[in-house]
């Protein structure tokens, strides 16, 4: 047997970074406009200028993103020498009780996407990834005796303060129904190219 076409989600954890980002995230979210497309919470996704005004403060976090993107690519065995990582999207979100995100992907326009949890609790909605063929699963009628990497359609990550997840941007993902009163995270997209 030969495994083919595998992918993975890179994780790292930095609670000090979460503490560093919390006051910045609150300032950004306070200045972000409410939008009917983001129910049960608030996001700066629709107010990119607000985040842009805080980019100097966010430099340590952007460096942390770049470092972890390079780790992701190194594990994937890509040549990272003289590789530039450009963060081309960065937005903060506070999800309240009843919030969720339907399955989606972040490409085109980026190659790497990620999420970093600034605050979360045991009631926070899980980050859920979907197999690429999830919506066209030809085996949907078959009963599964034991779930494994060959027959499982989804994989979840429990939100934890300071947890960062990084994945290829075309990987479909979403957020399960959120039961917590407040879960604050920052999401991002990045492109990579050689200098």
Fold adopted by 10-194: Jelly Rolls (2.60.120)
Residue keyed to tokens 């980002």: 21
Per-residue pLDDT of the chain (195 residues; tens, 9 = 90+): 898 888 999 999 999 999 999 999 999 999 998 888 898 999 999 999 999 999 999 999 999 999 999 999 999 999 999 999 999 999 999 999 999 999 999 988 999 999 999 999 999 999 999 998 877 889 889 999 999 888 889 999 999 999 999 999 999 999 999 999 999 999 999 999 999
Q: Name the pTM for this structure.
A: 0.95
Tokens encoding 31: 């200045």
In the chain the first and final C-alpha atoms are separated, in Å, by: 39
Every domain of the chain and the residues it spans: 10-194
Helix, strand or coil for residue 28?
helix
């Amino acid at each position: 047997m030969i495994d083919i076409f595998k992918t993975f989600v890179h994780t790292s954890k930095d609670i000090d970074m979460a503490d560093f980002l919390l006051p910045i995230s609150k300032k950004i979210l306070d200045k972000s406009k409410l939008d009917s497309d983001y129910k049960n919470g608030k996001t700066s996704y629709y107010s990119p200028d607000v985040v842009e005004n805080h980019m100097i403060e966010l430099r340590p976090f952007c460096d942390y993103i770049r470092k972890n993107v390079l780790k992701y690519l190194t594990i994937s065995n890509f040549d990272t020498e003289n590789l530039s990582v450009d963060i081309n999207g960065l937005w903060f979100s506070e999800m309240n009780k009843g919030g969720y995100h339907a399955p989606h992907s972040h490409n085109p326009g980026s190659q790497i996407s990620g999420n970093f949890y600034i605050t979360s609790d045991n009631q926070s909605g899980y980050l859920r990834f979907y197999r690429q063929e999830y919506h066209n699963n030809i085996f949907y009628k078959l009963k599964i005796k034991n779930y494994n990497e060959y027959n499982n359609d989804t994989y979840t990550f429990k939100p934890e303060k300071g947890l960062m997840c990084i994945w290829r941007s075309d990987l479909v993902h979403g957020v399960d129904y959120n039961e917590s009163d407040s879960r604050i995270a920052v999401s991002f997209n990045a492109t990579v190219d050689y200098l």
